[in-house]
Structure 1
Amino acid sequence: ALVAAVAAENGLPFVVVSAGTRNHFAMDLGLDRERPDAGLDALRDGVELSLDLGLIGERTFVNNASFGAYAEVVQSPAYRDDKRGTMLRLLPEMLSGQRGPHLVVRIDDEVVIEGPQALLVSNNPYEFGGPTEPGRRARLDTGLLGVIAITVDNAEHAVELLRGSRGRGLRTLVAHEVLVESDAPRIPVGIDGEAVLMPTPVRLSIQPLALRVRVPRERPGVPRPKPPIDLALLRHQALATARLASTRHRHRDRDRK
């Protein structure tokens, strides 16, 4: 994210080499995460994309910023080696324990979420796969932040939520700007997986098409587009089906007579 911020500020193209732990940004770009060296093909035979960047305070993020229980999990020493396992182990207790600063989330000055125990704000919305595994982002150029907020009453509800039940304690929204207020002067935030302390209130926004990214022409993780519907063929099949049904109906009437 730090390099992406410099590239965006200077209008320079950015190349991703997916040599990190989970590589969500690389995954959402469709890059081959098993072959980090394949990202270098962008230098030889690449195409350029214009993508959004998230902004939290004065700092850039490419994936997400997390608050509350999410941010506390990020600070665990075990998080880097086993992100999902650490989430499943620690989140129920953190969500139900009501510990940490009280948060108030304001979304585009229209929606207010009072007291969420966990909050994830992402650079473009995730296709939701669950609280511990948000999934992937189909696009990185919508000009919108994704918001996942969790508010639960007890450990039982937290466990149900983590097992995949959306329930009333989960809200997913999109926004242009998110303001996170707190009764604490500074709160822990996980920015692209890095634990930091930030002064409150914390403002997050989106920078549409701020980053030029060069990617290889061939990217195995890009979903193949569905073929367009052949309307002429569809009409032909519908008429043929209707004619066949009509013929069968006439034969049944004749047999009855």
Structure 2
Amino acid sequence: MEDVVDRRRPRRLARLALLCAAAAVVALALTGPHGLLVLFAEFLGLAVAAVGVWWALTRRALPRLFGALLAVGAPVAVVLLALHAEVLVLGLIAVALWLAALACGRAALRAARPPRPMPVRESPPPRRPVLIMNPKSGGGKVERFDLVRRAEELGARVVLLDPAVEQDVAELARRAIADGADLLGVAGGDGTQALVAAVAAEHGLPFLVVSAGTRNHFAMDLGLDRTDPATCLDALRDGVELTVDLGRVGDRTFVNTVSFGAYAQIVQSPQYREAKTATALDALPDLLLGDEGPDLTARADGHRIDAPQALLVSNNPYAAPDPVDLGRRPRLDKGLLGVIGIRVDGAAQAAELALRGERAAALTLLSARQVTVHADAPEIPVAVDGEALTLPTPVVCTLLHRALRVRVPRGRPGADPAQQAHARRPDWRELTRLALSRDASGRVGSGRDASGRAAGPRTGGRP
């Protein structure tokens, strides 16, 4: 009985989503002409705010200040208009109903086609694990969470990096293997993780990720706890293994992303680490308007991306990325690179990007097995997992499919693929078909999109 109820859940959620959407339309209709005026003003305000952000990023002095005022003032003006028209309450109710419709729609589609987690396999605990720890990483998380003592109590040998001395982390990992290590691990940022992961993959050893960096994107997509790095050490005594892909850019390994264009140029600055915002604001006008930096052209399998201002290549695609929030990668073992290209040529395209999101012409979203970046320069700046490098052109990005064995704790807070999935925009035709379906299983299609065509790589913007 419980199984039947669960199988009907997607259809019921889809019906609830349509009901909330209809109620939102009714609430909006009750506001009358003033409500429609405010709705139009909301879209206009969003476009004006985007134009303000564009001017704030691409101008200096007074034009930058004016852009910042537009970006802040446009939303405030919309709220004041709603108050003056006395439709704010009904408007807020309509927004709440619409958000509920989106949440139910996403839940319905996830329940109808549950995302499959990365497969795990049992493996015996390591006998001679070696962990490399960076005491500076993450603002001192190694010391704050007492990671050295906890790791040693679990039988690991800890190699503590000396912040005052430049050390070859990959060489330290190779020495550990020569001394008999049967597992390598890192408590540090994603750049350090990638260096040691490459050595572990080369020797076929399991790799342990301890989320002691600043952002810990790799740890997040593995489902690890980023708030308490010490929980990652539980894998030493009770863990399972995932097999994931490793990215390659030139002769360098990456676990997360490779960036080209504006961001890669900015991180080259010696001042970036100490004053990130000020450094970026100083460099962006020249970078975005084309006065500085090399001209790039990228080929992602059969697709061409011309003159992107920023290009990001990721180890497996993000679920539903946008320029502000990349979200998460639900799988790290699909053998595909994610590609995000951005080209904004003026205020009008900035407004379109704000209004249309991933469907805007300024944004290109692709999946590919190989990405080759050409430039009008013999070498270009590249940011590999946040680390500033300079590589000769053309720069080739590929994947080593399922090259890395990662040992993770048996219980991981982010292991549920439904939690990892990014909140993408629902397909209302698909939801309507699901709501009207007589199939008790609530399944939608079979690898086809809402128009009935076979599903393929999702693309947006220009090919």
State the TM bucket, normalised to the shorter chain: 0.7 to 0.9
Partner of 1:23: 216
As a proportion of its length, which structure holds more strand? Answer: 1
The aligned counterpart of 1:210 is 403
Q: 1:233: Cα distance to partner? A: 9.4
The one of 333, 336, 344 aligned to 1:152: 344
2:335 matched residue in structure 1: 143
Structure 1, 24-33 or 152-161: larger mean CA deviation: 152-161
How many residues are matched? Answer: 229
Residue 102, structure 1, aligned to residue 273, structure 2: no
Structure 1 partner of 2:189: none
Q: Which amino acid aligns with 1:195?
A: A
2:319 pairs with 1:130: no
SS at match of 2:381: strand
C-alpha separation between the residues in 2 aligned to 1:48 and 1:17? 15
Q: Is the 8 A contact 1:52 1:211 kept in 2?
A: yes
C-alpha deviations, 1:84-125, integer Å up to 9, x for none?
x679857863333453101110112x1111111110000000
In structure 2, how many angstroms separate the alpha carbons of the residues matched to 1:88 and 1:188? Answer: 15
Corresponding residue to 1:12 among 201, 205, 216:
205
* TM-score, normalised by the number of residues in structure 2: 0.45
Q: SS at the partner of 2:299?
A: strand
Contiguous gaps of at least 5 residues in structure 1: 236-257
Q: Which has the higher helix share?
A: 2
Instruction: Provide the alpha-carbon RMSD of the alignment.
Output: 2.9
User: How far is the alpha carbon of 1:191 from its aligned partner?
Assistant: 0.1
CA–CA separation in structure 1 for the residues paired with 2:272 and 2:328: 19
AA aligned to 2:322 is: G
Q: 1:73 aligns with which of 249, 266, 272?
A: 266
1:14 to partner: Cα distance = 0.2
Match of 1:219 among 376, 399, 412: 412
Q: CA deviation at 1:221?
A: 1.4
Is 1:172 aligned with 2:365?
yes
Identity of aligned residues (%): 58
Q: CA–CA distance in 2 between the matches of 1:161 and 1:101?
A: 24
> Aligned partner of 1:69: which letter?
A
1:42 and 2:235 equivalent? Answer: yes
- Choose between structure 1 and 2 for higher RCO, CA contacts under 8 A separated by at least 6 residues: 1
Residue 99 to residue 155, structure 1, CA distance change in 2 (3 Å): farther
Alignment-mate amino acid for residue 297 of structure 2: V
Distance 2:371 2:334 in 1: 16
Q: 1:134 offset after TM fit, Å?
A: 1.2
Letter of the 1:234 partner, please give it.
A
CA spacing shift, 1:127–1:86, aligned 2, 3 Å: farther
Q: Is the 8 A contact 1:143 1:209 kept in 2?
A: yes
The answer for the alignment partner of 2:393 in structure 1 is: 200
- Structure 2 unmatched ranges of 5 or more: 1-193, 420-436, 442-463
